[in-house]
Amino acid sequence: MAFPPSSAEKLVQTGIDHVIAETAPSIVPNGNALSKLQELDASTLIFTRNLQGKVVPEAAKVATQNVYVLPVVFLCAHAYQTIEFSTTDHMITCAWNAATGWQTPHLEAYGPLTLMPTASVFHYATECFEGTKCYRGYDGALRLFRPDLNCIRLLNSATRISLPAFDPKELKQLIEALIAVDGQKWLPKSKPGTFLYIRPTMIGTEAGIGPKAPREALLYIIALQFPAFDEMSFVRPSGQVSSKSNAHGNHSKPGMKLLASRNDMVRAWPGGFGWAKVGANYGPSLVAQAEAQDLGHHQVLWLLGEQNEVTEAGASNFFVLWKTRQGKLQLVTAPLEDRIILDGVTRRSVLDLARGGLASSSKHSDKLEVVEKKFSMTEVEEAVEEGRMVEAFVTGTGFFIISISQIHYRGKDLDIPMEAGSTGLYAQSFKDSLNQIMYGDESHEWGVVVEENPDRT
């Protein structure tokens, strides 16, 4: 039987509510505190030190004068670069089963996982993850950036695919525990301004063939070195870049180039799961990503429907800053209500800064109006052609904030202004404001200090 979208969405939400009530009743108002299932409890963490710790490699280096050539999958190595993705010494694991609930979490040596070939994650995409960072501040402190939002989002993603719920505060404590042990070695105080990427992940581990909610799951948290993509120059993947050509200025225009998706492609849809950070959102998009790269672009700008509504760019949130025909200066991004796009932490932070008047430009004294709304690629095209486009950029934990220099749409290259040369003025202002919080130059509630404990036993 086919359900109308409203009924289908209600059915999904009822299922999510049921998973939370069964597996983490303490986070439900008036929930059943007498549930037989053990909830996630960070206070029971058992630590087993890695006695064969790794040698910390130098920070991720990129060859060819810090020029980054995006490959098919933007996190893979490419012929023109040498990037090391080294994980830290430890990881956190915590198993769950439907009979007893969450087991005791372990902080242990980083290493392989053991799963049966019929594990649910391999066959039914019962997998979700998060991405956040830990920063070594210029004041010497270690900080997480708005980790509560990442923990809540992992809860939302997990329950969307029938994985168990948990109290986000407990997950936050586990993340802090990992960083407290590994942070001092991998982010030494002698190297302020550096960061580690943190990847909490949950997978369905029950063995057996059959599409059903898994009765066994595993939560694990790892940390790794990660390149600062926003500090790199972007060139076309097909460009033959060398130090010599760069020295003579013979290289592509900086900034990210996007290929607008065709009508036969769609990344997410109303009533779907585009808002959840699940693996099923990413794998199917890589075919289009490969096509975009082959055509000389960095990412796909995903459009939706007959009106070509703008949604996301690759795996990042997308912003435009334009002037309306009435002269208003607007910061515009797609809305969340249709659950098509991810509620990005960087996205939310940029919007909060803009609404608070913390981003400004000496070239544009007009008050910035923040708008979350549906908008079409036709509107973007008209703004460019009429000279009303000020800049565009993408946001995300991996890319942080990167300006867009060009969008290819229906056979036409739309050049996007970048008034600061390699970036837009507003994009740079947002980056500067957030970096000050992340690295401790500004005391702010978004920057959560982690107390280091490298000698924990």
Tokens of 91: 């990881």
**Model confidence at 34, in pLDDT bands (50, 70, 90)?**
low
Contact indicator for 128, 161 with CB cutoff of 8 Å? yes
Contact indicator for 37, 101 with CB cutoff of 8 Å? yes
Q: How far from each other are the two terminal CA atoms of the chain, in whole angstroms?
A: 57
Q: What is the pLDDT of residue 358?
A: 66
Q: What is the pLDDT of residue 5?
A: 54
**Model confidence at 85, in pLDDT bands (50, 70, 90)?**
confident
Q: Is the pLDDT of residue 71 over 70?
A: no
Q: If 0-12 CB within 10 Å is exposed, 13-18 middle and 19+ buried, where does residue 167 land? A: middle
Name the residue among 259, 281, 255, 257 with its Cα closest to residue 268. Answer: 281
Q: What is the pLDDT of residue 265?
A: 83
Q: Is the pLDDT of residue 183 over 50?
A: yes
Q: What is the pLDDT of residue 454?
A: 84
Q: Rounded mean pLDDT of 248-273? A: 79
Q: What is the pLDDT of residue 363?
A: 57
Q: Is the pLDDT of residue 109 over 50?
A: yes
Q: Using CA atoms, how far apart are residues 239 and 311, in angstroms rounded to an integer?
A: 28
Name the residue among 136, 110, 93 with its Cα closest to residue 53. Answer: 110
Tokens of 27: 């986070």
Q: What is the pLDDT of residue 254?
A: 87
User: Three-state DSSP class for 437?
Assistant: helix
pTM over 0.85: yes
Q: Rounded mean pLDDT of 202-230? A: 93
**Model confidence at 291, in pLDDT bands (50, 70, 90)?**
confident
**Model confidence at 360, in pLDDT bands (50, 70, 90)?**
low
Q: Is the pLDDT of residue 33 over 70?
A: no
Q: Rounded mean pLDDT of 112-135? A: 98
Tokens of 102: 């969450």
Q: Is the pLDDT of residue 81 over 50?
A: no
- pLDDT-above-70 percentage for the chain: 84
Q: Using CA atoms, how far apart are residues 415 and 384, in angstroms rounded to an integer?
A: 7
Q: Is the pLDDT of residue 177 over 60?
A: yes
Give the range among 32-41, 171-180, 211-220 with minimum mean pLDDT: 32-41
Q: Is the pLDDT of residue 186 over 60?
A: yes
8-23: per-residue pLDDT in tens? 678 888 999 999 999 9
* Mean pLDDT over each residue of the chain, to the nearest integer: 87
Contact indicator for 317, 347 with CB cutoff of 8 Å? yes
Q: Is the pLDDT of residue 309 over 60?
A: yes
Q: Rounded mean pLDDT of 316-325? A: 97
Q: What is the pLDDT of residue 385?
A: 98
434-453: per-residue pLDDT in tens? 999 999 999 999 999 999 99
Q: What is the pLDDT of residue 346?
A: 98
Comparing 209 with 59, which gets the higher pLDDT? 209
Q: Is the pLDDT of residue 42 over 90?
A: yes
Residue 319's CB is within 10 A of a number of other CB atoms, namely: 27
Q: Is the pLDDT of residue 138 over 80?
A: yes
Q: Is the pLDDT of residue 77 over 60?
A: no
Q: Rounded mean pLDDT of 244-262? A: 65
Q: Rounded mean pLDDT of 137-158? A: 98
- In terms of average pLDDT, the best of 24-33, 327-336, 357-366 is 327-336
Q: What is the pLDDT of residue 185?
A: 97
Q: If 0-12 CB within 10 Å is exposed, 13-18 middle and 19+ buried, where does residue 55 land? A: exposed
Q: What is the DSSP letter of 93?
A: E
Q: What is the pLDDT of residue 230?
A: 65
